[in-house]
Structure 1
């Protein structure tokens, strides 16, 4: 896959970049979007943050828990 041409991605673009559906991406990715304005439509994901999250799987380093894991841990 070619790297994205923009550094900041919509949720759909970020999910595609990771090879995930938007619903799965929202459930497993702990990267928080940057609010560029009012409303969810103005949220953008930084490619560098996504890359760091993915790299954490390869290095065996501490990977932040996903939203799903956070909810399960609260039970």
Structure 2
């Protein structure tokens, strides 16, 4: 009887495109754009990427109640 081995290596991406970052948070892209205070980084000209660690910090802040943005601050990012 033949046996087969399958080796899978998974590397978690640290930097994500906007759609990936929105999916990571479980939010629709439109809502992510309007509410996420994390600033993207331009590692490659014309490509904005969001840092997973910064998103995690934002979510942790929301969970602990330390994030208090005003409506004007959110609208200012739009």
Fold match by TM threshold 0.5: yes
Segments of 5+ residues of structure 2 without an aligned counterpart are 1-10
**Structure that is richer in helix per residue:** 1
Normalised by the length of structure 2, the TM-score is: 0.71
Normalised by the length of structure 1, the TM-score is: 0.74
The corresponding residue for 2:55 is 50
Q: CA deviation at 1:69?
A: 3.7
Distance in 2, matches of 1:44 and 1:19, equals: 17
**What is the SS of the residue equivalent to 1:50?**
helix
Number of residues of Structure 1 aligned to a counterpart in Structure 2: 66
The corresponding residue for 2:64 is 59
Of structures 1 and 2, the larger Rg is shown by 2
Distance in 1, matches of 2:16 and 2:68, equals: 20
**What is the SS of the residue equivalent to 1:30?**
coil
Distance in 2, matches of 1:60 and 1:19, equals: 19
Segments of 5+ residues of structure 1 without an aligned counterpart are none
Q: CA deviation at 1:71?
A: 5.4
RMSD, aligned α-carbons: 2.3
